Amino acid sequence: MRIARSTRMGCIACMVTAFLLSTVAIGHASAVPETGTTKNKLTPSVTFTTPPLKTLTDSEVKNAIQSAKHLSKAFRHISNQLLPSVVAIENRTENSQTTGQTPNGMPSRGGVGSGVIIDPNGWIMTNNHVVAGAGSIIVRLHDGREFMAEQVMTDPKTDIAIVRIPNAKNLTAAKIGNSNGSYVGDWVLALGQPFGLESTVTAGIISAKGRGIGLSDSENHIQTDAAINPGNSGGPMVNLDGEVIGINTAISSSSGGSDGVGFAVPINLANWVANQLIDHGSVQRAFLGVGIQPITQKLADHFNVPPKQGLLITHVLPKSPAANAGVRTGDILLKFAEARVSAPNEFQTFVERAKIGQTYQLTINRNGTLQNLNCVPQSQPNRPAESGGKQMNTSHSNRTSSGRLGIRVGDFDSTVAGKMGIDATEGVLILAIQPGGQAHRAGMVPGMILTEVNHKKIESLSQFNQLMSELNLDESLLFLTKSQNGSQFVVIDS
C-alpha cells in the first residue's frame, strides 16, 4: 500500500513539475523584449530536468563491488569471532509460560535476553532488567550447553548486571574495547537473541552519543540504527575491530520492534560497574552535591556566555564536597579534572567514577571570572525517601497574582515544603498557573517554589511583590525554581 501511494504521489509530482516547466517557459517567452527595445532579457529559467545517470565503466563497477565485498567480509569475520561469546539468558520462574511463537512456529518463553562472556572463568555481562526478579537464571551458550548461574549481581542505576556460571570449560571471552574511541558515523554490529532467535547479527552505525533516555538513573547511552529488538537486551555492540563497545539495553519504538533507534550502555561505564560489583559486591559512587542543567540559548543570554558550553549550577547541598570547595548556585561549571563538560549525564558519569577522597580541580565561570576550585568527592549517600507527591495545604496562605506572567503565588513555610519533599525555607509558592500564559509556556507548574528572580533572592511574598514592581516586565525574566525534581533556572519571555 505504501509503495502504491508513493507511486501515485510520484505521478502527481511529475505533473506538477511539468506544469511548472511549462509555466516558466511561457513566462520567459512573454518577457522577451520587442525588437528595437533596450530592455534586458530575463535570466534563463531554472532547469528541472534530471541529469542523465552516469554509466560506470567495468573497472568502476568492479571496484564498487569489491569495496562492498570487503565490508561484507569484515562483518562476516566479526560475527564468526563474536558469536561464540554471545549467550542467551532466560529468567525462569515457577510460573513461566509461553507468551507467543517465534517466526518458525516454535513457542517462545518470556524473560529471554542476551549476554556476553567477558571472562573465561564464567563471568557474563548483561542487563539488570534481564535478570531482575526471583527467577532462576539459565545461561545457554552458543554451542548449546546450558548452565544455571550461581552468582547474580546487579546495578539498577545503569541497568548493568553480571552473572557467573560454574564449571564451564572452554569459554570464549569477547574482547573489550574503548567506547570513548568510538564516534558518530562508525559502523557497529549488534548481536543477541531478538524474539528468541539466537545468534542474530544486525549492522548499522553510531547515530549519536551521550543520550539520556530516562530509563535509569545513570545514563550516557550510545544510539544506533542497527536493529535492536526485544531479546537483544544484554547483548554486545561491537566495532569493526571486533571489540565490545556497548551493551544493548533499550529501543525507542512505536511498534514494539526496531524503528532504527536503539541504545547501548557504553562499555567503559559497563566495565567499571562490573569491576565494582566483582570487587565490592556493590557499586561505590562518588558525588559532589550539586544540581546542574544544560545552558540553553535563553539561559546563555542571561548569563552572558555561549550556549552548550559548560553546565549551570542550580543548587549546592550544604556541607557537601561542592559546598566545601566554594561552589555557588549560579556558577557555570566548565571543567571537571581538566575534562570539559557540557552535558549533565556526561558530567554525572565523570563524578560517579571519580576516586572517593581524591582531590579534583573544578573550573568555573563566576560572573565572567574564571576560577579553579579544589573538590574532594565523597561516597554517594543513599537517596532520601520519596515524598509521595503530597499536596500543599495553602488555604490560609497570603496570596498575590501577577497577571502579566500568568501566575498566582503565596507564602509557605518549611514544614509545608518538607511535606512536599522540597528543601526550601525562603521564596514564594506557585499556587496556580494561567493556561497558555507566559509562565505556563516557560514550563512552570503549581507547586514550584520561586527562590530568585534575575539573581535577586525572594525571601517573602512582600519582597516578591516589591521586586516585580521594580522589574521591567517587557524584558525576559530569569527565575530560580525548586520542586520535587530539584532546582532549575527558568526563563520567562516578555
> What is the DSSP code string of 147-204?
EE-SEEEEETTTTEEEEE-TT--S--PPEE--GGG--TT-EEEEEE-GGG--SEEEEE
Q: Kindly name the residue from 79, 85, 114, 129 that is annotated as catalytic.
A: 129
Across 278-346, where does the E strand assignment appear?
Answer: 286-287, 290-294, 311-316, 332-336, 339-340
Q: Identify the residue whose cell numbers are 544486525.
A: 202
Strands 151-155 and 86-92: unpaired
> What residue ranges in 267-420 does DSSP mark as E strands?
286-287, 290-294, 311-316, 332-336, 339-340, 360-366, 369-375, 378-379, 399-402, 407-410
Give the DSSP per-residue string, 46-114.
Answer: PP-PPPPPPPPPHHHHHHHHHHHHHHHHHHHHHHHHHGGGEEEEEEE-TT--EEEE-TTS-EEESSEEE
For 374, the grid coordinates are 579544589
The amino acid sitting at 345 is N
Catalytic residue among 85, 155, 159, 315: 159
Q: Is 340 helix (H, G, I), strand (E, B) or coil?
A: strand
Could you tell me which residues are beta bridge partners of residue 362?
Answer: 336, 373
- Beta-bridged to residue 379, according to DSSP, are 286
Three cell numbers, residue 330? 549560579
| 229 CB-contact burial (10 Å; exposed 0-12 / middle 13-18 / buried 19+) | buried
Q: Is 440 a catalytic residue?
A: no
Distance between CA atoms of residues 304 and 422, nearest Å: 30
Active site residue 217: no
Give the residue among 319, 299, 298 at the shortest CA–CA distance from 311: 299
Nearest to 246 by CA among 178, 198, 196: 178
The catalytically annotated residue of 216, 218, 233, 258 is: 233
Using an 8 Å Cβ cutoff, are 249 and 127 in contact?
Answer: yes
Q: Is 159 a catalytic residue?
A: yes
List active site positions.
129, 159, 233
